[in-house]
Amino acid sequence: MSEFDAIVVGSGFGGSVTAYRLTEAGLRVCLLERGKSFPPGEFPRSPHDTATNFWDPKHNLYGMFDIWSFSSLEAVVCSGLGGGSLIYANVLLRMPDDWFVNEKADGSCEEWPVTRQKLDKHYDRVENMIGVQEFPIGQHPYSETPKTLAVREAARQIDLEPELVPLAITFANPNQPAVPGVPIDGGENNLHHKPRYTCRLVGECDIGCNFGSKNSLDLTYLSKAKDCGAEIRTCSEVRSLERTDSGFFVTYKRHPEGSRHTVTANRLILSAGALGTPYLLFRNVSAFPGLSTALGQRFCGNGDFLGLVLRAKSHENGTVSPRILDPSLGPVITTAMRMRDKLDGGTGRGFYIEDAGYPQFVNWLIDGGSQRTLVLAGRIPRPRLESNRVEGLLHPAKRNHAVHRRQARLQLYRKPAMAAQHAHHRSSARRSTDGTAPGRGCSK
Ligand SMILES: Cc1cc2nc3c(=O)[nH]c(=O)nc-3n(C[C@H](O)[C@H](O)[C@H](O)COP(=O)(O)OP(=O)(O)OC[C@H]3O[C@@H](n4cnc5c(N)ncnc54)[C@H](O)[C@@H]3O)c2cc1C
């Protein structure tokens, strides 16, 4: 008999929602996550710890940031309990109704088999589990967040209505006004048993929130899964998958010691991410004779474009003065404007423009740093970034000529940057792989 009813590989949005719902339904679930657990307060902040916060086991690095490089695509994904939710920007947009289509070459659209109406009840459930709140723009001190005000003002200037995006962040306790840095009611009821505090507006969402204000998956779905009896094994990287008469035989490597372990189950759920899952499948093709030849093909980025607003200005009573946007004040993203597309009365493709901030220490580097300071602070030893081999990922026929390794670059800017803007393209919403997107996670 198998030890478990189901093995779930990976603890990002796909894995944690699945693990919870299966455990809740009474199945014996084992979740295997290659990365470490990062309780609030344990996300690295010092220069040394940050420089080693990368995923590269060959160089004894077991940190969060896993950088993949392909010939025309580079991707950052997260390794850790909670997957991408540890570093994502907390935005849980529902995809607009009109975008549930495939555009054809002749410009016509083909409806998807699933509609927004069908998904709404699942969106509701996920938002309820994760705990969505809006940025409390109507209240001090939130009402003075310069980057948010600037995006809202810009939207109105081009006749668009700015919207507050649903965020997986706790700003306020239930039925209380929002206050930065107060204990979250029942906050310590999580698998780390660590207290949590409301958002302190420090712009650190993308490097892990040390105050537990971000409602990441370890603090939500995975804590619930554990309460229901799921077995969660961190530092456990799945390497090989074999079939048995009654299910699957999975071998994983424990980090950092390197010991190998096995586990069996009747069902296997691969939720190791858009890159991690195909990688695992290619390593184990013999266990899956029916695999499609399309595996490993037709990848694209998630459609996000980052831009920096430089030398912003205020125009008042005929006077022009510098406009301080203070990108480190607030969570990374607070607000958006939606550019209409041809499906809803505009022209071209639709997308969202959002504000985007970064942590205070980046501000110091950008505003005050000499070139040497920037180079030193941004230096990541070359081997760490180069060592992520991707040869195994693409379809075997395409490997030799389609893939090459390239050093990922950390770009830092010397000129004063006032705020970053983040355009969330329509294709991004379509392909979003977070728990709110079609076909991902919202299992019941
Ligand atoms: C900086 C940043 C900001 C983002 N902001 C947003 C946002 O605001 N809104 C939004 O909708 N999306 C956002 N995203 C995208 C979002 O994070 C991803 O779409 C989402 O995390 C994908 O979920 P997933 O479950 O498919 O994979 P992941 O979240 O990547 O989870 C996969 C998990 O599998 C683990 N794993 C991989 N291989 C193995 C193995 N062999 N054995 C065991 N475990 C393994 C990984 O360590 C990881 O924990 C952002 C992404 C980034 C990088």
d(CA 167, CA 52): 29
- Cross-strand pairs, 188: none
- Let me know if residue 21 belongs to a domain: yes
- Let me know if residue 136 belongs to a domain: no
227: its two tokens: 């309460």
Half-sphere exposure of 393 (CA within 13 A, CB side): 20
- Looking at the structure of the chain, the number of domains it has is 1
Residues whose beta carbon lies within 6 Å of some atom of ligand 1: 9-15, 32-35, 76-80, 83-84, 87-91, 206, 237-238, 271-274, 276, 280, 432-434
Best residue for ligand 1 mutational test, from 236, 434, 440, 442 (most atoms within 8 Å of Cβ): 434
d(CA 434, CA 273): 10
Which range among 116-130, 383-397, 421-435 shows the weakest confidence by mean pLDDT? 383-397
Q: How many CB atoms lie within 10 A of CB 213?
A: 28
- The predicted-structure confidence for 7-36, as pLDDT tens digits, reads as follows 999 999 999 999 999 999 999 999 999 999
- Let me know if residue 104 belongs to a domain: no
Sequential DSSP letters for 182-215: PBPTTTT-STT----B----BS-GGG--TTS-B-
Task: Name which of 312, 321, 311, 325 is nearest 147 in CA terms.
Answer: 325
Sequential DSSP letters for 83-95: GGGGTS--B-PPP
From residue 398, how far is each of 21, 187, 295, 299, 300 by CA, in Å? 38, 49, 11, 13, 16
- 47-71: average pLDDT: 95
Instruction: Please measure the distance between the N-terminal and C-terminal CA atoms of the chain and give it in whole angstroms.
Output: 28
Ligand 1 centroid distance, CA of 406 (Å): 22
Task: Name which of 283, 262, 292 is nearest 389 in CA terms.
Answer: 283
d(CA 131, CA 436): 13
> Which DSSP symbol is given to 17?
H
pLDDT at residue 172, as a whole number = 98
| pLDDT mean across residues, the chain | 85
- Let me know if residue 128 belongs to a domain: no
Question: Which protein residue's CA is at the shortest distance from atom 2 of ligand 1?
Answer: 88
- Let me know if residue 23 belongs to a domain: yes
Q: Report the share of the chain in percent with pLDDT over 90.
A: 69
From residue 94, how far is each of 112, 385, 430, 434 by CA, in Å? 16, 34, 10, 11
111: its two tokens: 């409806």
Ligand 1 centroid distance, CA of 285 (Å): 23
Ligand 1 centroid distance, CA of 71 (Å): 21
- Let me know if residue 442 belongs to a domain: no
- 117-126: average pLDDT: 97
15 Cα nearest atom in ligand 1: 25
- 37-66: average pLDDT: 96
Task: Name which of 418, 297, 304 is nearest 352 in CA terms.
Answer: 304
Task: Name which of 308, 357, 352 is nearest 330 in CA terms.
Answer: 357
Q: What are phi and psi of 352, to 5 degrees?
A: -110, 140
Q: Report the share of the chain in percent with pLDDT over 70.
A: 82
Res. 340: pLDDT tops 50: yes
pLDDT at residue 394, as a whole number = 36
pLDDT at residue 381, as a whole number = 43
Question: Which protein residue's CA is at the shortest distance from atom 31 of ligand 1?
Answer: 12
Q: Which domain holds residue 274?
A: 1-92+208-297+383-413
Which range among 13-22, 370-379, 405-414 shows the weakest confidence by mean pLDDT? 405-414
d(CA 150, CA 172): 24
Ligand 1 centroid distance, CA of 273 (Å): 6
Ligand 1 centroid distance, CA of 373 (Å): 31
Q: How many CB atoms lie within 10 A of CB 276?
A: 23
pLDDT at residue 398, as a whole number = 33
Q: What are phi and psi of 416, to 5 degrees?
A: -60, 125
pLDDT at residue 245, as a whole number = 93
pLDDT at residue 426, as a whole number = 45
- Let me know if residue 14 belongs to a domain: yes
Ligand 1 centroid distance, CA of 13 (Å): 7
Ligand 1 centroid distance, CA of 274 (Å): 8
Ligand 1 centroid distance, CA of 334 (Å): 21
> Which DSSP symbol is given to 432?
-
pLDDT band at 362 (very low <50, low <70, confident <90, very high): confident
Which is more confident, 171 or 398?
A: 171
Burial 174-185 (b: 16+ CB within 10 A, else e): eeeebeeeeebe
- The predicted-structure confidence for 186-217, as pLDDT tens digits, reads as follows 999 999 999 999 999 999 999 999 999 999 99
Question: Which protein residue's CA is at the shortest distance from atom 39 of ligand 1?
Answer: 272
Question: Which protein residue's CA is at the shortest distance from atom 35 of ligand 1?
Answer: 10
Question: Which protein residue's CA is at the shortest distance from atom 27 of ligand 1?
Answer: 273
Res. 439: pLDDT tops 70: no
Res. 251: pLDDT tops 70: yes
- Let me know if residue 292 belongs to a domain: yes
Question: Which protein residue's CA is at the shortest distance from atom 46 of ligand 1?
Answer: 79
Give the CATH number of the domain where residue 227 resides.
3.50.50.60
